[in-house]
Structure formats: C-alpha cells, structure tokens
C-alpha cells in the first residue's frame, strides 16, 4: 500500500473509466438521426491508428458521428473535467465546501473580460482567452477579498462570490448594450453552447485545459496538507500562500478557457467533487483525479439530457446542471453548517 494506490486504486479507476466510457458511447449514439450502435463504435475504432474496420456507415452518417457528435462529446468532457477539478481545487484552497467556479464569480469575470475584448475589436481568438483569464482572476480576487471581511466563514465567501458575479454580469450587460453592433458576436461567445462546437473549439480550449488539470493534480497532496489550516501547514514545511496562489491561478485559467467555449455552466464544481467525496473519502488525492474523470462523464450526460428532454429543441446545458446542482448545493450547505455548529 504505497502513497499512490491508496487513493487511486485499479478498482476505483476501472469503475470511473467505465462510467466515462458509458457516457461517451451514449453521447455518440443518441441524437435526432438514429444510427446503428455497433457501426458507430466500429467507425470510431476505425479511426484509431493501426486499426482498420469497415463500419458500414454511409459518408453522411460518418460525418454526423465524426464532425457533429464526437467533437461535442469531447468538448463536453473537457469542459466538465475542468469545471469539476477547478471546483475541487477551489474547495481545497479556500477550505470551503461550497466553492465552485460559477458561485465564486470566476465564470462571470471571464465573461466580462471576453466581452470587453470582443467589443474592443478582437474577434473570437487571439486576445479573447487572455482577457477572459484576466477577468476571471479579478473576480476570484474580489470574491476572496470581500469574503474575508469579518472572518472567513463558508457562507461569507459564497455571498461575496454572488455579489461579484452580479456585478460582473451587470457590467457585461452594460458593455453589450452600449456596443449593439458587436452584440451578436458577444452572445455567440457567451452563450456559445456545446451545440455549435466543432474540432476548432476543442483545439482552442485543450492546451489551457491540460495545463490547468495537470497543475491542479500535481498539487493534490499539498491540498491535503493545507486541510489542517494555514498555520499547521506552515509548521509542516509547506508555504500555504504559494500553494494557494498556484492552484487558484491554474483553476481560474481552466475556468476562463472553458467558459470561452461553453458559456456559463454552474454547479458542476459542486456536484462532482462532493459525489466523489462521498464515494471515495475526503482526500484530495482521490477527489481531484476522479473529479476529472467523473466531471467529464457528468457533463457529457448533462449535455445528452439538454438535447433530448425537449427534442428537437435544446435546453441550455447550464439549465440542466442548475436544476440538478441547486438542490445538491442545499444539501452540502446543510451538512457544512451542521458540521460547523456541531
């Protein structure tokens, strides 16, 4: 039993990968055009290096799988993985079970930054992700600063996050209204749901997502050390400020990047890490790696629900996650409050 396998054992990994695989397959198979499941799988396998299988799909069907469904599933998986692991990371750094990229105002900050860049003449690309990142950093800084007033309790950080999110959203709306000529572009960006996604978006977001996830995962043991509080972490030889800064920047970078392609999707960062916590215990060494896998699976399934419940119309995916997440948030809040007063 070494330090590694105690948290991410083969059994747990197999379970979670199985869930993800199931979600991906479901995401590929379900859609307005019904396709033969075996052929779809064969089509994907055919594209793997060194494998050649005749899927028997027509060119049109292959295009549906390859250009419409797969990029959407892949993008959903990336967005879900990043939002979940970022949520878990914020929870560890702020030692607050309610932290989430959406509730902290990080997503709204990214939205304002991107809007400013677009109305300033930047098209979708170039400086937009950078501006989104700057806006997101400003939001998390403001939420943390405001939330520390009068002691750092769980709810004051979240109240601060709600205020920051409201402010940034208002500012963003104002900027949009003043610049009606670019409003279409801004809306496309902000509401850029997974539905319009192609491989271009995947390529755009992937580098940021990888950096963010890798940096957060590298700090998983240190987040466990931080869970004994700043003072004690210091006497154990860890610089809490350095860990906090690095992890917050990584989580914020990832959030800003995925908001850029998916729009505002809330509560994923609460639902997934807490479910993992219930399943595998409270160590960040299991929460964070499994939040990546579980978050990917969760968002693929949420997207599946978003495009099927009112089919042929689509419900924004943020509506699905909020519908599930808000009650979940209530449960987490109750437990957190009970724990504090116990």
Binding site for another protein (CB under 8 A): 1-4, 218-219, 221-222, 224-225, 227-229, 231-232, 234-239, 277, 281-283, 285, 339
Are the C-beta atoms of 298 and 328 separated by less than 8 Å?
Answer: no
Packing angle between helix 199-218 and helix 70-93, nearest 10 degrees? Answer: 30
Residue 88: CB minimum distance to another protein, A:
14
Residue 4: CB minimum distance to another protein, A:
5
CA nearest neighbour of 16 among 287, 329, 255, 317: 287
Kindly tell me which of 59 and 231 has the beta carbon lying closer to another protein: 231
Q: Which long-range contacts (CB under 8 A, 24 or more apart) does 37-44 make?
A: 40/65, 44/70
Helix (H, G, I), strand (E, B) or coil at 336: helix
Kindly tell me which of 133 and 280 has the beta carbon lying closer to another protein: 280
What gap in Å lies between CA 161 and CA 102, rounded to an integer? Answer: 8
Kindly tell me which of 92 and 263 has the beta carbon lying closer to another protein: 92
Residue 7: CB minimum distance to another protein, A:
9
Are the C-beta atoms of 272 and 289 separated by less than 8 Å?
Answer: no
What gap in Å lies between CA 238 and CA 113, rounded to an integer? Answer: 33
Are the C-beta atoms of 252 and 106 separated by less than 8 Å?
Answer: yes
Q: What angle do CA 303, 320, 270 make, to 5 degrees?
A: 100
Dihedral over Cα of 275, 190, 155, 215: its sign: positive
Residues 6+ apart with CB under 8 A from 336: 97, 98, 154
The pair of structure tokens assigned to 8 is 């991410």
Cα separation of the two ends of the chain? 34
Residue 170: CB minimum distance to another protein, A:
36
What gap in Å lies between CA 52 and CA 24, rounded to an integer? Answer: 21
Residue 233: CB minimum distance to another protein, A:
8
CA nearest neighbour of 300 among 23, 64, 68: 23
Kindly tell me which of 149 and 278 has the beta carbon lying closer to another protein: 278
Residue 195: CB minimum distance to another protein, A:
38
Kindly tell me which of 49 and 237 has the beta carbon lying closer to another protein: 237
Residue 240: CB minimum distance to another protein, A:
10
Kindly tell me which of 200 and 339 has the beta carbon lying closer to another protein: 339
Kindly tell me which of 224 and 303 has the beta carbon lying closer to another protein: 224
Residue 72: CB minimum distance to another protein, A:
34
Kindly tell me which of 13 and 319 has the beta carbon lying closer to another protein: 13
């Amino acid at each position: 039993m070494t330090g590694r396998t105690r948290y991410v054992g083969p059994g747990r990994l197999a379970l979670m990968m199985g869930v993800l695989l199931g979600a991906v397959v479901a995401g590929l198979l379900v859609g307005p055009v019904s396709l033969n499941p075996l052929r779809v799988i064969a089509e994907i396998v055919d594209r793997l290096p060194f494998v050649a299988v005749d899927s028997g799909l027509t060119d049109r069907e292959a295009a549906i799988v390859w250009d419409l469904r797969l990029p959407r599933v892949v993008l959903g998986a990336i967005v879900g993985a990043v939002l979940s692991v970022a949520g878990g990371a914020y929870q560890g750094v702020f030692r607050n079970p309610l932290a989430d990229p959406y509730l902290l105002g990080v997503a709204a900050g990214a939205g304002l930054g991107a809007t400013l860049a677009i109305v300033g003449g930047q098209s979708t690309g170039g400086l937009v992700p950078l501006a989104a990142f700057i806006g997101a950093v400003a939001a998390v800084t403001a939420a943390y600063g405001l939330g520390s007033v009068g002691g750092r309790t769980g709810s004051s950080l979240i109240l601060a996050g709600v205020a920051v999110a409201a402010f940034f959203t208002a500012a963003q709306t104002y900027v949009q209204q003043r610049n009606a000529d670019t409003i279409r572009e801004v809306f496309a960006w902000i509401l850029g749901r997974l539905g319009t996604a192609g491989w271009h978006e995947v390529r755009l977001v992937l580098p940021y997502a990888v950096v963010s996830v890798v940096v957060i995962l590298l700090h998983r043991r240190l987040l466990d050390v931080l869970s004994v509080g700043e003072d004690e972490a210091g006497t154990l030889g860890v610089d809490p400020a350095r860990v906090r800064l690095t992890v917050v920047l990584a989580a914020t970078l990832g959030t800003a990047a995925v908001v850029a392609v998916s729009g505002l999707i809330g509560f994923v960062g609460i639902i997934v890490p807490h479910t993992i916590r219930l399943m595998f215990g409270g160590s960040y060494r299991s929460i964070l790696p499994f939040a990546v896998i579980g978050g990917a699976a969760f968002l693929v399934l949420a997207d599946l629900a978003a495009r099927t419940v009112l089919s042929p119309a689509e419900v924004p995916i943020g509506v699905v996650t909020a519908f599930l997440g808000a009650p979940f948030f209530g449960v987490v809040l109750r437990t957190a409050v009970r724990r504090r007063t116990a």
